[in-house]
A and B are shown apart, each in its own frame.
Chain A
Amino acid sequence: MGKQITEMLKGTLEGLVLAILALRPAYGYEITARLREQGFSDIAEGTVYALLVRVEQRGLVDVEKVPSEKGPPRRVYSLNPSGQEYLDEFWRTWTFLAERLEQLHTEPAEGES
């Protein structure tokens, strides 16, 4: 992925991750794996981890520590009502932005019509 997608993702990754959590609770690695499956191959696990910490600090997700066979317990994140509200707002914003961009993209250039 190029530089542009990296920049654009910065503003949308949070919504993307919350949307994944809206389907079902998951731990960090699962989320990264799902993003990679969907073609975001360059996403670093640490970036997702930092993002999860951030949404946790802001109270958008609930965290449950699930014991794992080895090592520290895995943190399983789930979307809570505040997170759902935030996600709804994210989709409204996204739809607005996508529509405007699409309009600009398909509008005939001046002089062509």
Chain B
Amino acid sequence: MAARWIETLTGSLEQKKQYKQDKARIDALPEPYGAAAKAVHRYLMYCGGMTDGDTLVTMFGDLADLWERAAIDGTPVREIVGDDPVEFAEAFARAYAGKQWIDKERARLTKAIEDAERKEEE
């Protein structure tokens, strides 16, 4: 009961736990994978634009999977992120689109144009 009350204030504790576990996996990566993964993680925090905790947790879990796999297979860092790491990080974040803050604005723009169009018809 108490947990649920707290969660309405703080977001899901389960989510936080999962997030911390995934972050710990990223922190535990051997170099140079740790440095690369942390850099991507940081960028995603800035550009991801997620408001939804579930999506965020899924994304960081997948990120940890990707880099753990790379570290184990010994895949060169550059083969993971490609020539343009920014492009990579943004494509990665876009994969989780649908629940981003920008969606509200997209819906708003779409509706505004529809409303304008209706005035045209009147």
Q: Which A residues have a C-beta under 8 Å from some C-beta of B?
A: 28-29, 42-47, 49-51, 53-54, 57, 70-72, 74-75
Contact = CB atoms under 8 A, between A and B. Distances in A.
A44 B68 CA distance: 16
Nearest to A73: B65
Contacts, number: 58
B82 interface: yes
A29 B73 contact: yes
Interface residues of B, number: 24
A53 B95 contact: yes
Given A29-B73, A72-B65, A72-B68, A50 B81 contact: no
Contact of A50 (B64, B68, B69, B92): B92
A53 B62 contact: yes
B75 A45 contact: yes
A44 B83 CA distance: 8
Given A49-B66, A70-B72, A54 B95 contact: yes
Nearest to A71: B72
Given A53-B62, A70-B72, A72-B69, A46 B82 contact: yes
Contacts of A72: 64-65, 68-69
Contact of A44 (B64, B71, B73, B79): B79
A42 B83 contact: yes
Contacts of A51: 91, 95
B69 A71 contact: yes
Nearest to A74: B69
Most buried by B among A45, A46, A70: A46
Given A29-B73, A53-B62, A46 B80 contact: yes
B13 to A, nearest CB: 24
A-B pairs, 7 with minimum CB distance: A44-B82, A54-B95, A71-B72, A53-B95, A50-B92, A46-B80, A50-B91
Given A50-B88, A50-B91, A45 B72 contact: no
B70 A47 contact: no
A44 B89 CA distance: 12
